[in-house]
Structure 1
Amino acid sequence: MYEEKGLTQIYCGPGKGKTSVAIGQAIRAVGYGKRAIVIQFLKGRETSRLDYLSSMEPDVRLFRFEKKDKYYEDLTEEEKKEENENIRNGLNFAKKVLLTQESDMLILDEILGVQEFGIITEEEVISLIREKDDETELILTGNVVSEGVKNAADRVVSLEIVK
């Protein structure tokens, strides 16, 4: 039985692997006949590491709204301003996915980083969690999770490098 129905899960921490764990959850959901949408933030367009997901369409669909070919922190202030608008488009798309129940699982990869950079507020992330229905699973990733977002989630997993 597929147990994860309707949960809000967060994968956070300074180590690597948060995206991989989230994508693993999407692949697991597909095994149960579910569909997943992944929206990736802050990674720049040059990250093609998840392009293999295109072979899983339409069961898993990947979206990136940013246009620049480099990581957010490497952008000029003017470029960041442009990308902030693109990121907001991604956030609006996430809201639409939740509202229309278009997918069984929505993964917002590095959305916590978007909050950490101050592009969106803690309240906006919490609002996404609250807008979710009881059936859709929502997965958020990023290095740092704020107290309010942590409290709004059902499960928070911190990944850390031990050795």
Structure 2
Amino acid sequence: MKKGIVHVLCGEGSGKSACAIGLAVKAAGRNKNIVIIQFLKGRNEENEMSKRLEPEIKVFSFEKSDKPFSELSSEERKEEATNMRNGVNFAKKVLSTRDCDVLILDEILGLVDYGIIEAADIAKLLEAKDDDVDVIMTGIVFPDELYGCVDSISRIDSEDIKKSCC
């Protein structure tokens, strides 16, 4: 049996979520059960496009607003923060009930940046992971406290994108 890994895609560049979705499509092609939970994006075109991957890839977002978190008022942020904490709790449930082979937590690292959860909450979440489940997390900043919880980190920076595009 293959040992599951915890992989992080982080950095200032764009393409982290797209890379994670590409990994999901690759895993779906190997008949794996994939769950994606998206954070901080609001309900937008990208979220709706991701839903087209269903039923092979299950996509969840617990946010109610159409706007990204960064564009919300302080009152709207409080409500959405609660919704996103519900998403983290759902991720714990998915891991503890073994409902997937691959769990993608898109922009979960940003929840730490915004003070919605702490890095320790992510560490506790990862403790619920079975040995054969892969977890992929994305976000801009990788908290130092999580180094002992992950197997690999890929950094995507703006310079990398400029060199590889057009």
Quick check: TM above 0.5?
Answer: yes
Within the alignment, does 1:136 sit opposite 2:133 as a pair? yes
Q: TM-score, normalised by structure 1?
A: 0.93
The residue aligned with 2:57 is 60
Query: Does the 8 Å contact 1:150/1:156 carry over to 2?
Result: no
Within the alignment, does 1:91 sit opposite 2:123 as a pair? no
Measured in 1, the distance between the counterparts of 2:47 and 2:79 equals 24
Please list the CA deviations of residues 59-112 of structure 1 after superposition, one character each: whole Å capped at 9, or x if unmatched: 201111010111111111111111111011101110000000001111000000
| Partner SS, residue 118 of structure 1 | coil
Q: RMSD of aligned C-alpha atoms?
A: 1.5
The residue aligned with 2:7 is 9
Matches within 5 A, 1:108-127: 108-127=105-124
Aligned pair partner of 1:48 in 30, 45, 49: 45
Within the alignment, does 1:78 sit opposite 2:75 as a pair? yes
The residue aligned with 2:97 is 100
Structure 1: unaligned runs, 5 residues or longer: none
Measured in 2, the distance between the counterparts of 1:72 and 1:49 equals 15
Query: Does the 8 Å contact 1:41/1:64 carry over to 2?
Result: yes
**Cα deviation, residue 50, structure 1:** 4.2
Measured in 1, the distance between the counterparts of 2:31 and 2:108 equals 26
Q: TM-score, normalised by structure 2?
A: 0.91
| Partner SS, residue 35 of structure 2 | strand
Structure 2: unaligned runs, 5 residues or longer: none
- Kindly tell me the number of residue pairs found equivalent between the two proteins: 160
Measured in 2, the distance between the counterparts of 1:14 and 1:156 equals 14
**Aligned partner of 1:118: which letter?**
G
Measured in 2, the distance between the counterparts of 1:28 and 1:100 equals 23
